[in-house]
Amino acid sequence: MTVADARVLIAGGSSGMGLALAQRCLADGAHVFIVGRNQERLNRAGKHLGGGSRLEAIVADVTRESDVAGLFARVGELDHIVCTAADIRGAYELLPALDLDAARRAVESKVFGPLLLAKHGAGRLAPSGSITLTSGIAAYRPLPRGTVVAAVNAALEGLVRALAVELAPQRVNAVSPGWVDTPIWAFVAGDRKDEMLDTMARRLPVGRVGRAADIAEAITFLMNSTFTTGTVLHVEGGHRLI
């Protein structure tokens, strides 16, 4: 099964890496479902992607089991499920200032959300299908203020390995991005976003930070690679080397 022939569900598909993946899959001929919590953002994404009969936008919160169950009842059979969704608002804080509700949101979006997608989506996937999740460099090179994000990314990678065993022959993998210029940096760095990304670009062996299209390319590889499962694919410009 190639992406060109596939039905692909992308949770988090209204922005950033998920939006870039949706654009790539549509260009390759797939039928794409983009899923997000905000109708306005989904509408903007649909306009950006050009709409068309092969694109459907669905409002759902992947951290709510009833939403996830309803989502899969609506979309029917699938070939690939991808989750790029993350809610880390307020989670990048030093421990004395850490708000536990923000930490819970990060855990729910990065661990419970993917778990629910697997629980309710595996039965809708073809045996040759795949689930691809999104980890991150914080699991390997955490920064001060990044305790919660490091922990949830590490937990997600453990989830990938366990799901790959339990759901076989369906494949389960993760992409682990490095620093990628996406809207999520507004929550991480605020007004210092450009400064921080420029500084990291000068440090990385590849000489630049990532683009959303870089991650979309990596996820597409994992969807198409029928001999890859239980794997974390690092797409981080050599960040782990510096």
DSSP per-residue codes, 153-215: HHHHHHHHHHHHHHSTTSEEEEEEE-SB-STTHHHHHGGGHHHHHHHHHHHSTTSS-B-HHHH
Q: What residue spans of the chain are helical by DSSP H?
A: 16-27, 39-49, 65-75, 100-107, 113-121, 147-166, 185-189, 193-203, 212-224
Backbone angles phi, psi at 128, to 5 degrees: -90, 5
* C-alpha R_g of the chain: 17
- The residue count for the chain: 242
Catalytic positions: 135
Question: pLDDT of the chain along its 242 residues, tens only?
Answer: 568 889 999 999 999 999 999 999 999 999 999 999 999 999 999 999 998 899 999 999 999 999 999 999 999 999 999 999 999 988 989 999 999 999 999 999 999 999 999 999 999 999 999 999 999 999 999 989 999 999 999 999 999 999 999 999 999 999 999 999 987 776 666 788 889 899 999 999 999 999 999 999 999 999 999 999 999 999 999 999 99
CATH architecture of 3-235: 3-Layer(aba) Sandwich (3.40)
Determine the 3-state secondary structure of 101 from DSSP: helix
> How many Å apart are CA 125 and CA 114, to the nearest integer?
15
Dihedral of the alpha carbons of 186, 107, 131, 11, in degrees to the nearest 10: -50
